Structure formats: C-alpha cells, structure tokens
C-alpha cells in the first residue's frame, strides 16, 4: 500500500498511479463481474503475460484493491476478488464503459 508520502498531491494522479495501467483496468473490469482464478483471468485478457498479471495482481492486493483467497483443497487453488475498497471503483469503471461505448458509436457514425 502506498504511504502518505508516496502518494502524489493530486488525487487524479493518485488514482492513475493505482489503476492507470491498461492491465489493471482490465483486471478490475473482470473482477467487477465475479471472482476469478489466475489462469481463468489470464485467458480473458489477451496479450497479458504471466509475469505482468502476477505483478499487477500483487500490486493491487498490496494497494488494498483486491483480495487473494487461497483454498486449501485437493488440488489447492487461489481466487481473486475485489476488496471493499476495490468495489468503490465500480462507478468509475462503469463511467469509463459508458464513455467508451458512446465514443465508439460517435466515431462509427462519423466514419459512415
């Protein structure tokens, strides 16, 4: 988790620092729907490497946005889900989705 001294003075910059990579945004998009296992998450994000996914998940867990749950079954598995803090990202990601949809529609109309 970022210390107070590590956080930028600008709140927008803080948000960008926490979720500004395209991979973190796509991970959040997935976890807004439901919890995911690692390999399942990797399959739903084309182009992401195992290392980048691992690093992103660890970073998001350290920042308090997601929760990593280990199931001690046979075979054991790990599941990732949004934390309570991560859930507060729902309206932000929703707004981004709506904006992206509108943009694609407007650009499609302009191309016609």
| Residue 59 to residue 2: CA distance in whole angstroms | 10
pLDDT band at 7 (very low <50, low <70, confident <90, very high): confident
Average pLDDT over residues 74-99: 93
| DSSP H stretches of helix in 1-112 | 11-19, 22-33, 38-44, 50-62, 84-87, 90-111
Q: What is the pLDDT of residue 1?
A: 64
Summarised one tens digit per residue, pLDDT across range 44-68 is 999 999 999 999 999 999 999 999 9
Instruction: Please give the Cα distance from 45 to 26 (Å, whole number).
Output: 7
Q: CA-based diameter of the chain, in Å?
A: 56
- Domains belonging to the chain, first-starting first, are 11-111 (1.10.10.10)
**Whole-angstrom Cα distance, residue 70 to residue 104?**
39
What is the model's pLDDT at position 2? 62
Average pLDDT over residues 71-84: 92
Angle between helices 22-33 and 11-19 (to 10 degrees): 80
Which pLDDT band holds residue 13 (cuts at 50, 70, 90)? confident
What pLDDT sits at residue 42?
96
């Amino acid at each position: 988790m970022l210390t107070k001294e590590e956080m930028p003075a600008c709140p927008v910059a803080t948000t960008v620092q926490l979720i500004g990579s395209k991979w973190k945004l796509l991970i959040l998009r997935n976890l807004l729907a439901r919890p995911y296992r690692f390999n399942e998450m990797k399959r739903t994000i084309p182009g992401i490497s195992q290392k980048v996914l691992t690093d992103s998940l660890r970073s998001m867990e350290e920042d308090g946005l997601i929760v990593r749950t280990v199931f001690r079954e046979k075979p054991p598995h790990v599941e990732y889900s949004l934390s309570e803090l991560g859930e507060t990202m729902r309206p932000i990601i929703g707004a981004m989705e709506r904006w992206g949809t509108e943009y694609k529609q407007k650009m499609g109309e302009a191309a016609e």
